[in-house]
Amino acid sequence: MSRAKRIKLIESIEKERGSKLITYLTSTRKGWGVQMGMDAVRRIYDHLEIPSDSENVDLLLHSHGGEGIVPWRLATLIRERAKKFSVLVPFKAFSAATLTALGADEVVMHPMGMLGPTDATVTNAFNPVDPTNPQARLGISVEDVTAYIALIKEDAGIQHEDELVKAFNRLTKQVHPLALGNVKRSLSQSRMMAKKLLSLHMPKEKSHQIDEIVDHLTSKLYFHGHPINRQEARDHVGLATVIDPPQRVEKLMWRLYLDYEEEMKLEEPFDIISQFLAEHPSLVAGASKITNPQKSRLVCIESKSRADYYEVEYELYGEKPPTGPGIAATVVRRNERWTTETGEPKEPKKTKESNESDEAKN
């Protein structure tokens, strides 16, 4: 689908909802994902500055999460410009994306839409080295640390202070104490951020309800990858802001998401060996090759009059050892940058086949 056709979907959603729609999608492609970042907030500001007939702002959001400070800056920025701020979730809005949704007056979830726990997985210079990749550090889940302590106390039945100290010392032999301190700080920040975002639209007299929501999202779901559907979000987490879209909006949200899914190849694992062999299928032993430059779109931010894309140009370098099977390949990034398109592009001339396809979709 061309951007011209996406604009038609964006306009249709805006008409149905009486809003200004901005889309923000980060790559969730396996092996090629990127996080929500402050650089995207800068681009979203440019979209907000474009005049609109509506004072309501919808943010269609798809991401596995990102920097912990992004949700606060993004939600407060949009709320300054919007009479009503809504987050549209066609598929995945995990971690920092869930936090962003907490700051909205309304969360419109597709039947395929999912939120997730907001407990953080942290990585810094003090984290353990990844045994499979000595150049990388293992992420530490906040809930893994708290679950270890709970395991010692509740399941092993160890309550004596001296024994608890010994158990904690065993943990610090595997994980640097400063890494554990970072875990505690990240958990506190996540809880604080969730409370602040919910307080943007929930009155002070509902502080107990806010605490319950935060507890569910940071500690009561136990698994960072747990998918929260819209019914669970309302009935168990307590998010009264979550609503089901009308059928027309539901279909439009999904059609728009599917186009991004196809363009960003979100359902295709980023397999560098397969990509390399597709271009160099018969590499001889001891030889090495590099692929032609390729381009990949990792972030899409779009509205009716503007598009911002974060793209990377890369090559794949592969070599076959002189002895033994297999090929080793690495990604060589040549250029990464934001690109911007403004105005409404002209729709490409339709063929008979594309006309028939559009009629089938409608």
pLDDT digits (tens, 9 = 90+) for 264-323: 999 999 999 999 999 999 888 889 999 999 999 999 999 999 999 999 999 999 999 888
Model confidence at 151, pLDDT cuts 50, 70, 90, reads confident
Q: Residue 114 and residue 104: Cα distance in Å, rounded?
A: 16
Give the pLDDT score at 167.
77
The answer to whether residue 145 sits within a structural domain is yes
The answer to whether residue 281 sits within a structural domain is no
Q: Residue 84 and residue 107: Cα distance in Å, rounded?
A: 11
Indicate whether 86 and 156 sit together in one domain.
Answer: no
**Mean pLDDT score, 321-334:** 89
The answer to whether residue 321 sits within a structural domain is no
Indicate whether 59 and 12 sit together in one domain.
Answer: yes
Chain-centre distance for alpha carbon 40: 12
Model confidence at 356, pLDDT cuts 50, 70, 90, reads very low
Residues in the chain: 362
Model-level pTM? 0.83
DSSP strand E in 279-361: where? 288-290, 294-303, 306-319, 328-342
The answer to whether residue 40 sits within a structural domain is yes
Indicate whether 153 and 252 sit together in one domain.
Answer: no
What are residue 16's phi and psi, to 5 degrees?
-65, -35
Q: Which residue has the tokens 């474009």?
A: 50
Q: How many CB atoms lie within 10 A of CB 199?
A: 15
Model confidence at 67, pLDDT cuts 50, 70, 90, reads confident
How many structural domains are present in the chain? Answer: 2
Indicate whether 109 and 128 sit together in one domain.
Answer: no
Q: Residue 53 and residue 81: Cα distance in Å, rounded?
A: 13
The answer to whether residue 77 sits within a structural domain is yes
C-alpha to C-alpha distances, 204 to 47, 89, 105, 179, 340, nearest whole angstrom: 32, 27, 16, 35, 41
Indicate whether 12 and 156 sit together in one domain.
Answer: no
Q: The domain that contains 252 carries what CATH number?
A: 3.90.226
Indicate whether 97 and 236 sit together in one domain.
Answer: yes
Indicate whether 14 and 105 sit together in one domain.
Answer: yes
Domain of residue 231, residue span:
3-116+227-269+297-311+339-361
CB 107 within 8 A of CB 243: yes
Give the pLDDT score at 124.
64
Indicate whether 155 and 110 sit together in one domain.
Answer: no
Task: Please name which of 95, 105, 116, 125 lies closest in space to residue 190, comparing C-alpha atoms.
Answer: 95
SS3 310: strand
Averaging pLDDT over each range in 255-264, 314-323, 344-353, which range is the top one?
Answer: 255-264
Q: Residue 332 and residue 134: Cα distance in Å, rounded?
A: 19
Indicate whether 129 and 111 sit together in one domain.
Answer: no
Indicate whether 138 and 265 sit together in one domain.
Answer: no
Model confidence at 175, pLDDT cuts 50, 70, 90, reads confident
The answer to whether residue 317 sits within a structural domain is no
**Mean pLDDT score, 96-122:** 91
Give the pLDDT score at 143.
64
- Which tokens hold the place of 31? 């092996």
The answer to whether residue 253 sits within a structural domain is yes
Give the pLDDT score at 152.
76
Indicate whether 110 and 236 sit together in one domain.
Answer: yes
Indicate whether 110 and 237 sit together in one domain.
Answer: yes
Give the pLDDT score at 145.
72
Q: Residue 11 and residue 280: Cα distance in Å, rounded?
A: 44
